[in-house]
Amino acid sequence: MKFLEGENLRRRILQSYSKDPTGWSFVISPSERSGFFDASVSGPHGAWALKIDSLFKPQPIMLGSPTEPSPQRPPDSFPYGYRKLPPELIAQMLDDESNPREKAMEGLLSVLKSKTVIPEEGRSYAHGPFVFTGPQKLELSERQRELDDKLTSEMHRLLRNRYPAYG
């Protein structure tokens, strides 16, 4: 079983996304058993199971492994991905005096409704949305449960190595 961490994991998922940026999903939920966060990232040609130590720090520790696809994002939600974000739209949305709340919401929705694209260096993008749910009530396959257990164990090992005082 192959585990990737941090930048290598991000790069691998971005490579997969860049092959086909349509129909992606990124769902995060607190783990019922481990105290970490679980994420499922899936696209038209594969899926990844992720274990994240915290959502409340700028550089969380993340582990992931390819997995079989799980149920996708909620049907009425926007697909995950990168969307072009004109810099002038950001300025307009932040200008409280000349831009009522409805106009700002209209600008945000126009970005969310736009087509997902492959990001290019030096350009502005909105990234997401990430769907945050409560602890997953979905049934995992036997293989997915085994992978979840291995990711949890590996995350504990990684944290003990990085932070000797960790449990």
Task: Show me where the domains of the chain are located.
Answer: 1-80+129-167, 83-126
pLDDT averaged over consecutive 10-residue blocks of the chain (167 residues)?
A: 89 94 91 88 91 92 87 73 88 68 80 93 92 74 88 93 83
The predicted-structure confidence for 81-130, as pLDDT tens digits, reads as follows 999 998 888 777 777 666 567 777 788 888 999 999 999 999 999 999 98
Placement of tokens 């200008």 in the chain: 95
Q: Are 30 and 133 in contact (CB under 8 A)?
A: no
CA distance 18 to 80: 13
CA distance 75 to 106: 21
Residue 71 pLDDT: 57
Environment class of 45 (CB within 10 Å of its CB; exposed 0-12, middle 13-18, buried 19+):
exposed
Buried b (16+ CB within 10 A) or exposed e, 13-31: beebbeeebeebbbbbbbb
Residue 118 pLDDT: 96
